[in-house]
Amino acid sequence: MPTFVYMTRCDGCGQCVDICPSDIMHIDPVVRRAYNIEPNMCWECYSCVKACPHNAIDVRGYADFAPLGHSVRVQRDEEKGVIAWRIIFRNGEKDMNLLAPITTKPWGKHIPQLADVPSPSQDMRDSELLFNEPKYIRFDDGGLHTLEKAGLQLKVGVYE
Amino acid sequence: MAYKTVVEDGIDVLVCGAGLGGTGAAFEARYWGKDKKIVVAEKANIDRSGAVAQGLYAINCYMGTRFGENNPEDHVRYARIDLMGMVREDLLFDMARHVDSTVHQFEEWGLPLMRNPKTGAYQREGRWQIMIHGESYKPIVAEAAKKSADQVFNRVCITHLLMDEAKENRVAGAVGFNVRTGNYHVFKSKTVVVAAGGASNIFKPRSVGEGAGRVWYAPWSSGSAYGLMIGAGAKMTQMENRIVLARFKDGYGPVGAYFLHLKTYTQNGMGEEYESKWFPALEKMVGKRYLDVEASHLSHRPIPTCLRNHAFINEVNAGRGPIHMVTMEAFQDPHLEEIGWHNFLGMTVGQAVLWAATDVDPKYENPELTTSEPYVMGSHATGCGAWCSGPEDISPPDYFWGYNRMTTVEGLFGAGDAVGGTPHAFSSGSFTEGRLAAKAACKYIDDGKGEGIRVSDEQINRRKEEIYKPMEHYKVYRNEITAGSVNPHYINPRQGLDRLQKLMDEYCGGVTVSYMTNEKLLNIGLKKLKLLEEDLEKIAAENIHELLRAWELKHRHLTSEAVMHHTLFRKETRWPGYYYRGDVMKVDDENWHVLTVSRRDPETGEYTMEKAPLYHLIDDKPEAKAA
Ligand SMILES: Cc1cc2nc3c(=O)[nH]c(=O)nc-3n(C[C@H](O)[C@H](O)[C@H](O)COP(=O)(O)OP(=O)(O)OC[C@H]3O[C@@H](n4cnc5c(N)ncnc54)[C@H](O)[C@@H]3O)c2cc1C
Ligand code: SF4
Ligand code: SF4
């Protein structure tokens, strides 16, 4: 379709509508359930599939080249920090389960609030450095990489 | 129209588009501008918007200076040879010297980076690529941006930049509409960072019908970054440098990890290696400088991506397709097989869907490859985008006008696909460019350059009328016909997009003409683009969603026109494999070892083209000989 919604599972919560980067998951005004209004602008990105709390959304491969009868399902678990995929081939001969981490740290705590870190000094402002540099470039020692440090010249054309 | 006007005033940094470039800008802006008002406008939902919506399986730009792996100058040399010389080395070097700090930050934020168990360094996929579990890459960087911004406006599509009426050629914010409420949004801002992504779907895709959204770059990459900047009269560069990608057929699954990490290789329909046999003739076309057949197998010097495409395209045209990726050997190793599948699931699920649907198991069958339709972008292996100032400590005077990543319009900055001449930035480099642009934007404000901005109600109202015109047009004419979509007074956005794609494909070197064009074709194409422009004035939108598509189309149209003008201007075939000028089938270093720069006059729509000097700041290190 490429995405489609199972009528009996959808409760019209709108989470897929909220997330679709292509703005194509919409709630049907009559049945009050979601559907894909523009399949030919769908990327099969699975953002809506992952977002649906009721597993109501599925994908059927693009009609111009994908035969019927396959399935690629996904479960994304933020609390456990993992994503699980199940791929079933059309002929049923391959049935794969794959698992991957989505984050190494709990959400919401490890990104600094830059409003709370000390203001940059004038030296820092005048330099070419960015937040947390040079520390974050090397994590150990050494400053920002310059052409001079690499023994190269500035502002000349030498490529021949 | 009964839509409300919502005005956000007194903004210091407005970020238009919050993909990788935009999130980087919003995050960093808070550090340099503690007390500044930072606002983000994004046409989708920041948590899953942009080219990285599905996730990624690799960060394609990481130096690893800390592990003694590469230095920024090495990356410049690499990108330069890949683009056959045509890059802004100052901007590339600047991005490369900061990109490691961005990646280290990502790891600290929780993005799972794989490590090499033996060395402790990040697991390399290739010299510049490190492997990640990147399904949640976008939500992670989105969190960083949300923490820094005063406000994030989701589902606001920016259509135009506002221009200052107190000082010529200075930006004053942006306007757009909310795709949910329909409200008109006005953002008055001292600076604007445009990070609205590259352009897919301006050339006819190989997919048809229901599958037309299966393109390599996301279908929502509507060329808005270019459309907004071109519309405001910013100078653009290298717009002729569109990219064609070799990918798995139909699904467009990535091949990087396959080639680099899984060590797969390609062969023609007869099971033969074909690439090298096209190179001797190609060497004559591009010159030894870019392809040295004898030397290249001895050295590590990479062969430019476009030239490998050239071999692929010619082999297929010679009737020896299909080209296969030999996966059957690598996939016997269960670990590598798992990586092969994860690679798709992390960034191009459609490819996994396709193989499941067609029972193609790469363990027992070598899958087909194809070359894609062309794309216009500035952050992957191509460098279209705005002509921007470089950093103070590196850039020659021709490349420097005060503020890093500032376009030729004052106060208007770019990042990611928006910036020209900076290929091979990818996701990490785009985020880094956003950070650099944000620092420079804050400096611009602190220097008092954004003072006294004036935006009249007249400008605001004129834009409002313009934005909703497609809906008015629909209302006026829809009842003249019984039903259906055929109307003598208008076309709808899909019809307009089909016309644009066909036109670009046939006249500007798309798939159906084997990427071939010439001066005559381009001139006809330009004429037809003008006619399409007239029809775009009469485009009809049935609802707000169609209004979004109408404005995406208008941005795509502006992008296409720039591509056409640039392709016409550069009278040589600089990148065989991306496009061919059939009337000048050679690289011409004597006349065209330059960057191309265009400007569209916002009042008249006229284009002026010029050549800009190409400075090579980094010397050519002799390549290490293979052991
Ligand atoms: C299939 C695929 C595989 C890739 N693989 C890799 C990889 O392995 N490693 C890697 O490092 N990079 C990879 N890339 C490249 C990487 O994704 C891009 O380089 C990067 O995302 C570019 O960043 P950007 O900010 O310029 O654009 P984007 O991230 O696309 O962001 C643009 C943003 O602007 C918004 N927008 C657009 N128009 C408007 C408008 N009018 N108003 C408001 N908002 C708007 C969009 O919704 C989007 O959020 C890949 C890309 C694709 C498509
Ligand atoms: S798969 Fe992606 S593009 Fe398609 S409907 Fe879902 S969220 Fe939208
Ligand atoms: S997220 Fe699921 S349940 Fe909610 S509207 Fe969408 S399909 Fe229905």
Domain ranges in chain A are 3-101
B194 SS3 class:
strand
Whether B454 is in a domain gets the answer no
For B436-466, the pLDDT digits (tens) are 999 999 999 999 999 999 999 999 999 999 9
Whether B381 is in a domain gets the answer no
CB B206 within 8 A of CB B565: no
pLDDT value for B430: 98
Q: How confident is the model at residue B120 (pLDDT cuts 50, 70, 90)?
A: confident
Whether residue A134 has a cis bond before it, omega within 30° of 0: yes
Active site annotation includes A85 = no
For B171-210, the pLDDT digits (tens) are 999 999 999 999 999 999 999 999 999 999 999 999 999 9
Cα B470 to ligand 1 centre (Å): 27
Pocket of ligand 1 from Cβ distances under 6 Å: B 16-22, 41-44, 49-52, 56-61, 157-158, 176, 195-197, 216-218, 220-222, 224, 254, 347-348, 379-380, 416-417, 426-428, 430
For B41-61, the pLDDT digits (tens) are 999 999 999 999 999 999 999
Which ligand sits nearest to residue A35's alpha carbon?
A: 3
- Tell which B residues from 159 to 198 touch A, by Cβ distance under 8 Å: 179
Nearest to B332 by CA among B303, B291, B361, B302: B361
| pLDDT at position B310 over 60 | yes
Q: Is ligand 2 within 6 A of the CB of residue A5? A: no
Q: Which two tokens stand for residue B106?
A: 């990502």
Q: What is the DSSP string of B2-60?
A: -PPEEEEEEEEEEEE--SHHHHHHHHHHHHH-TTS-EEEE-SS-GGG-STTSS-EEEE-
**Average pLDDT over every residue of B162-169:** 98
**Based on the structure, what is the number of domains in chain B?**
2
Whether B94 is in a domain gets the answer no
Q: Quick check: B620 and A159 CB within 8 A?
A: yes
A21 vs B contacts (CB less than 8 Å): 44-45, 48-50, 53, 218, 220
Q: How confident is the model at residue A61 (pLDDT cuts 50, 70, 90)?
A: very high
**Average pLDDT over every residue of A40-67:** 96
The complex's ipTM works out to 0.95
For B519-570, the pLDDT digits (tens) are 999 999 999 999 999 999 999 999 999 999 999 999 999 999 999 999 999 9
Whether B508 is in a domain gets the answer yes
Partner residues linked to A120 by β-bridges: none
Q: How confident is the model at residue A1 (pLDDT cuts 50, 70, 90)?
A: low
Smallest CA–CA distance, residue B553 to chain A, in Å, is 13
Q: Is ligand 3 within 6 A of the CB of residue A20? A: no
Backbone angles phi, psi at B510, to 5 degrees: -95, -160
Q: How many contacts, defined by CB atoms under 8 Å, are there between A and B?
A: 280
| pLDDT at position B624 over 70 | no
Measured between CB atoms, does A97 come within 8 Å of chain B?
A: no
Measured between CB atoms, does A19 come within 8 Å of chain B?
A: yes
pLDDT value for A157: 34
Q: Quick check: A37 and B148 CB within 8 A?
A: no
Measured between CB atoms, does A30 come within 8 Å of chain B?
A: no
**Average pLDDT over every residue of B461-479:** 98
Atom of ligand 2 nearest to the CA of B220: 3
Contacts of B502 (CB under 8 A, 6+ apart): B204
Measured between CB atoms, does B548 come within 8 Å of chain A?
A: yes
Rounded Cα distance between B216 and A109, Å, is: 34
A134 vs B contacts (CB less than 8 Å): 101
Q: How confident is the model at residue B224 (pLDDT cuts 50, 70, 90)?
A: very high
CB B110 within 8 A of CB A104: yes
Q: Which of B301, B570, B599, B600 is catalytic?
A: B301
Q: How confident is the model at residue B317 (pLDDT cuts 50, 70, 90)?
A: very high
Smallest CA–CA distance, residue B111 to chain A, in Å, is 5
**Atom 4 of ligand 1: nearest residue by CA position:** B56
Could you tell me what percent of chain A has a pLDDT over 90?
78
**Average pLDDT over every residue of A21-41:** 97
Q: pTM to 2 decimals?
A: 0.97
Whether B123 is in a domain gets the answer no
For A110-153, the pLDDT digits (tens) are 999 999 999 999 999 999 999 998 888 876 555 555 555 555 54
pLDDT value for A158: 30
Which ligand sits nearest to residue A49's alpha carbon?
A: 2
Smallest CA–CA distance, residue B527 to chain A, in Å, is 28
Cα A42 to ligand 2 centre (Å): 5
The residue type found at B619 is D
A119 vs B contacts (CB less than 8 Å): 34
Phi-psi region at A129: left, alpha or beta (left = phi > 0; alpha = psi -120 to 50): beta
Contacts of B420 (CB under 8 A, 6+ apart): B88, B236, B237, B238, B239, B378, B383, B384, B385, B386, B387, B388
pLDDT value for A140: 53
Q: Which of A43, A107, A131, A136 is catalytic?
A: A43
- Tell which A residues from 57 to 96 touch B, by Cβ distance under 8 Å: 59, 61-72, 74, 76, 83, 85, 87-91, 93-94, 96
Strands B38-41 and B56-59: unpaired
Rounded Cα distance between A90 and B196, Å, is: 38
Contacts of B501 (CB under 8 A, 6+ apart): B201, B202, B203, B204, B205, B510
Atom of ligand 1 nearest to the CA of B555: 41
Q: How does the average pLDDT of chain B come out, rounded? A: 95
Smallest CA–CA distance, residue B561 to chain A, in Å, is 23
Measured between CB atoms, does A7 come within 8 Å of chain B?
A: no
pLDDT value for B295: 77
A42 vs B contacts (CB less than 8 Å): 213, 219
CB B378 within 8 A of CB B239: no
Contacts of B6 (CB under 8 A, 6+ apart): B178, B183, B184, B185, B186
Give the CATH number of the domain where residue B480 resides.
1.20.58.100
Query: Quick one: A132 exposed, middle or buried, by C-beta within 10 A (0-12, 13-18, 19+)?
Result: middle
A103 vs B contacts (CB less than 8 Å): 110-112, 136, 140
pLDDT value for B1: 56
Task: Domain of residue B470: give its range.
Answer: 459-591
CATH number of the domain located at residue range(s) A3-101 in this protein? 3.30.70.20
Q: Quick check: A45 and B53 CB within 8 A?
A: yes
pLDDT value for B301: 75
pLDDT value for B321: 95
Q: Both B360 and B463 in a single domain?
A: no
Q: What percent of chain A is helix, strand and coil (3-state, nearest 5)?
A: 15, 20, 65
pLDDT value for B544: 98
**Average pLDDT over every residue of A46-53:** 98
Q: How confident is the model at residue A108 (pLDDT cuts 50, 70, 90)?
A: confident
**Atom 2 of ligand 2: nearest residue by CA position:** A45
Which ligand sits nearest to residue B215's alpha carbon?
A: 1
